[in-house]
Amino acid sequence: MFSSNYLKVAVFSLLLFLSSYTYATTFVLSDDGLIDERTITKIEEIGNEAQSKLGVNIFVYIKNSLGLEQGISTKDKIKYIKKYENDITNSLVKPYVLLTMAVDDTHVNLIVSSEFEKVIDKNEILNGYVVPLLASKDKNSIFSKVSASVLNGYAAIADVIADSKDIKLESSIGSSGKIAGTVWKVLMYTLIVVGLLLYVFAVLKRKK
């Protein structure tokens, strides 16, 4: 007969295994608990359709930190991250697109295999869909921001590739992602303009 302690350990191990299996994903290589489960489910849906219809593997690799040393120089930081990301891409099946993010290191990147270098505009995806939501100054938690920005960028990547092949993805979230980024940009520009006007007004008032 097994002891009660042995049985508890066995049950716990089984539950842990089942839990890991349940949330195992194909396209989210790492998320460090920063992405909502519903977001992961949607990413997997888009990823599977992109793989079957577009012939591309779109991956996500999210970390709290990449393990950078404190006080590291910018040059060494870039060198370290490049090697870190190369180690990831070396194991990926081509053609691929990889969206990486390290929250504590304030790092976001988009890596594209040669097959899609002329299709994907890295800056457009990051600046139009990912960074605006991630850097937004609001009351939303970092968990919510990472989830939203990753899904936004991921969906945009799939849509851009689909458009280049004149294919419509059923899992697409449409233009909502771009709208969110545009709204953020308009808000930021408005705040800058208002700030400048207030500054000019204050200077003129001081001179009087």
Q: What is the mean pLDDT of each run of 10 residues along the chain (208 residues)?
A: 45 39 73 92 96 97 92 92 96 96 94 95 94 79 90 95 95 62 44 54 62
pLDDT for position 196? 54
How many residues are recorded in the chain? Answer: 208
User: What 8-state DSSP symbol labels residue 16?
Assistant: H
Tokens 């936004």 — which residue? 152
pLDDT for position 46? 96
- CATH number for the domain formed by residue range(s) 24-207: 3.10.310.50
3-state secondary structure of 171: coil
pLDDT for position 105? 92
What strands lie across the sheet with 107-112, from one edge to the other? 28-30, 57-63, 96-102, 107-112
